[in-house]
Amino acid sequence: MAATVAHSQQPLSPGGATSNGGGSSGGLHPLMAAAAANAAKQQQQQSQQRIDARNQEPFDLTSKKLCLADFQRVRTLGTGTFARVCLVRPSHGTEADRSKVYALKILRKTEVIKLKQIDHVRHERQILSDVSGHPFITSFQASFSDHEFLYIVLDYIPGGELFTYLRKYRRFDEDMAKFYAAEIVLVLEYLHEHQGGIAYRDMKPENLLLDADGHIKLVDFGFAKRLGNNQNDHPEETYTLCGTPEYLAPEVIHNKGHTTAVDWWALGILIYEFLTGYPPFWHSNPIEIYKQIVEKPVLFPQDPPISPEAKDIIRQFCTVDRSRRLGNISGGAARVKAHPFFRGVDWDAVMARKYKGPILPPVRYPGDAQCFDIYPEDDERREEYTDDMAERYDEYFKDF
Amino acid sequence: MSTGFTSPFGGNSNPFVRMETAGMQRVAEEDENDMITSPTTPSFGRTPASHNNGGGLFRSPFGADGASDTHMTGVGRPHLDPAGYPAQYNFGRRTSVSAESLKPPTGETYDNWTPPVHPKTAEQLQRLKEAMSGNFLFSHLDDEQTAQVLGALVEKPIPSKDIKVITQGDTGDFFYVVEKGSFDIYVSPTGKVEPGLDGAGRKVSTIGAGGSFGELALMYNAPRAATVISAEPNCTLWALDRMTFRRILMESTFARRRMYEGFLEEVPLLSSLTPYERSKIADALKSEKFPTGHTIIREGDPGDSFYLLVDGEAVALRNGDETPVKHYKKGDFFGELALLNDAPRAASVVSTTEVKVVSLGKSAFQRLLGPVESIMRRTKYVGVKTGVEEMDPLQIA
């Protein structure tokens, strides 16, 4: 298998690579580099032989030797500060194997270290595999690493971000909002109450994908943290400020130590944004957002009219005093489910995904990516991951 | 399943061209002009933010007294356009933010960190207090935290004019308070300083003594939203870095919470609480300070709160008798029966020194954990010896 790794060891060429979508650019990204290898004419024949050889090999996600060359990139689905998520398919194996698709999250070690996100990345890998299999959470398949990158293989969720639909439709009516909110309540109940107190910490429409049937999948566990809440575990509040400005809970802004209660606050913000099209606290300057969050009540616009039940549940979630915040008070998620906003919701049917979602994404086949926005395929030139860094930091990434 | 990648529709151009709307419920009416471009294009948004009385110039780390308070307020509530949409809201994807991971001291990693202390005169302290008093990042701090933060501010002389203290686009780690002199604020529309004479952009304001800038740096590392340049010689700043600030808050909060949890563990009435429940209760405790001789609870009054004595001493008095029936010191508690019933207080508790107490109302307790009775009923299952069930005559038989 070692020979095939040569693809990703192509020297990265400096300067602006242009993506032509055809897979033969002077790309800087490892997946691009792999494609570039094929383009070089004198290597083509050799490559072809190598690929033919690989095609014979079974594709095995559980293999300890899983590596980048086991995948072919289709295209980028999203980018972040130190990560990129690509739609990929197996590069070898049986025809059935090669027709599968996955989302591959690629994290650059140097950026992870520079941005002091090592702990977050480790938690993400661990928690994703712990919570895998929940109907409303994206499923973890495998992880691996190479010299410069960490990789997480996830199920591909083809419907795109709920964010995109919300902006397209500007706002959702209450039945739609209720449908999505109900699925999220079940996710939070699971994370908080059945998984040892996992705080998700980055709820927002950008992190909710729709599957082909229009159901929610929560993605990006980059800030998720297990706080512990059973009899033996000493429960711990946590102190690292993280999240998205508009969705941060007041206790996070004030560095008071925060708990799973931050997710209920964020759900209040989310329902508000579903119903109005924008969050309750916003400003072009984040400091002004934070001031509003800690000092101002949630106010509702005249238009669109919002039902008293919806206003009430939003206000109860967005309560500064955690001893009064719905979801955090006695009864936990059960109390949330009993709120009048969810009147008529059959929670078993929700969990069983009995009804299709109010938005059916235009997915034409399993690997269809048309619901995702287009992103540049090439990375800017970044700092190299040196041997010194590898020596110092690789032990932190050994779980990948 | 293998239709995959040879699809003739491979374009991926517009995700909504063939939007299936069969399952779609009513959505807000659409205005052709509103659906702009892709939300990922940099210019996504309905109105250039700069039309927003200056606010848009500051997409990030700037704020407080000097800049934000004078120029950027008044747009906090949405100004709705005729379609019910806030005109200035940026509808693009929002980026997550994160500070450095901050972990409370544990047994293994306890390193006895103490915040740095840079001595200051009483006048300097007073000025700093005033400069920071209105700031939402400091206004909620307790006395101890405030004293530590003030002590940690370090003096930074800026000897001459035209020194760049912070540069737009650079990463930011420090918050500054102006002690002496004045500083000009420049904002470049490109988000960073450009080469050339006017590269710093337009001057938007000046900050004088008592003003402050760069507060977002106390929350997380974000690019500076403006350039700050000394406007005269012999200026002085006080600087505070994010890690010191956040660590002061974390260490004191963490220590206090563990102390409360420890105290709560000693309360027999609450002995069946799980650590998780104790942690929730610790969260809801309200801190109060009383002078010597203050009656904290009064005999005969209806009881609604339970108290932990965090610092100082107090005594219990009954029937107007001046001889205390009980002495309380740090870690002791009183009034816990109020959680159980509405019976009048059986004694008065009066402070004999200055005291710091934390209290928990019955209503807060019940909101968080439900009725106390049901909590105590667990006792027999958990096998805790001191529970009320043990004393229940019905159980003795």
Chain segment A92-136, per-residue pLDDT in tens: 988 899 999 999 999 999 999 988 899 999 999 999 999 999 999
CB distance B318 to B308 below 8 Å: no
Tens-place pLDDT, residues A239-295? 999 999 999 999 999 998 999 999 999 999 999 999 999 999 999 899 999 999 999
Q: What is the pLDDT of residue A3?
A: 36
C-alpha distance from residue A194 to each of A218, A230, A259, B349 (Å)? 16, 10, 15, 43
Q: pLDDT tens, B323-339?
A: 999 999 999 999 988 88
For residue A375, is pLDDT > 60?
Answer: yes
Query: Across the interface, do A283 and B254 touch by the CB < 8 Å criterion?
Result: no
User: How many Å apart are CA A28 and CA A13, to the nearest integer?
Assistant: 6
- In angstroms, rounded to a whole number, what is the distance separating the alpha carbons of residues B23 and B35? 21
Q: Which among B16, B59, B254 has CB closest to A168?
A: B16
> pLDDT value at position B52?
37
What mean pLDDT value characterizes chain B? 76
Does residue A53 carry a pLDDT above 80?
no
Which of the two residues, B383 and A359, has the higher pLDDT score?
A359
Distance from CA of B71 to the nearest CA of A (A): 11
Nearest CA to A84 out of A37, A38, A1, A19 is that of A19
Q: What is the mean pLDDT of residues B263-289?
A: 86
- Cβ contact A285–B18 (<8 Å): no
Q: What is the pLDDT of residue A38?
A: 53
B6 pLDDT band, cuts 50/70/90, is very low
Q: Smallest CA–CA separation between A303 and chain B, in Å?
A: 6
Q: What is the pLDDT of residue A19?
A: 35
- Which residues, numbered 4 to 33 in chain A, qualify as contacts with chain B under a Cβ-Cβ cut-off of 8 Å? none
Q: Is the pLDDT of residue B39 over 70?
A: no
User: CA torsion B208→B209→B210→B216, rounded to 10°?
Assistant: 60
pLDDT value for B101 = 82
Considering only A340-344, B32-36, B99-103, B267-271, which range has the smallest mean pLDDT? Answer: B32-36
How far are the Cα atoms of B148, B314, B386 from residue B144, in angstroms, in the given order? 6, 22, 36
DSSP string, B178-197: EEES-EEEEE-TTSSPPSST
pLDDT at B386: 35
Taking the C-alpha atoms of residue A64 and residue A144, their distance in angstroms, rounded to an integer, is: 8
Q: How far is A369 from chain B (nearest CA, A)?
A: 7
Per the model's pLDDT, the better-predicted residue between A49 and A338 turns out to be A338
Inter-chain residue contact A283 with B75, CB threshold 8 Å: yes
Q: Which residues of A are catalytic?
A: 202
Mutate one of A262, A284, A289, A291 to test the B interface: name it (highest B CB count within 10 A). Answer: A284
Q: Is the pLDDT of residue B258 over 70?
A: yes
Strand pairing class (B286-290; B355-361)? antiparallel
Phi, psi dihedrals of residue B290, rounded to the nearest 5°: -130, 150
Residues of chain B with Cβ-Cβ distance to A256 below 8 Å are 249, 253
Partner-chain residue, chosen from B56, B276, B366, that has the shortest CB–CB distance to A229: B276
Task: Specify the range with the lowest mean pLDDT, choosing from A28-37, A159-168, A384-393.
Answer: A28-37
Q: Is A214 near chain B, with CB under 8 Å?
A: yes
Calpha distance A28→A10 (Å, rounded): 9
Distance CA B327, CA A279 (A): 53
Least confident range from A227-241, A316-330, A369-383, B29-43: namely B29-43
Q: What is the ipTM of this complex?
A: 0.83
**Is B254 close to A239, i.e. CB distance below 8 A?**
yes
pLDDT band at B57 (very low <50, low <70, confident <90, very high): very low
Alpha helices for A40-196 (secondary structure H): 41-56, 95-98, 109-114, 118-131, 162-169, 174-189
B242-265 and B143-152 helices, crossing angle to 10°: 150
Q: What is the pLDDT of residue B128?
A: 94
Q: Is the pLDDT of residue B165 over 90?
A: yes
What are the backbone angles phi and psi of residue A295, rounded to the nearest 5°? Answer: -115, -25
Q: Which residue has the higher pLDDT, A37 or B228?
A: B228
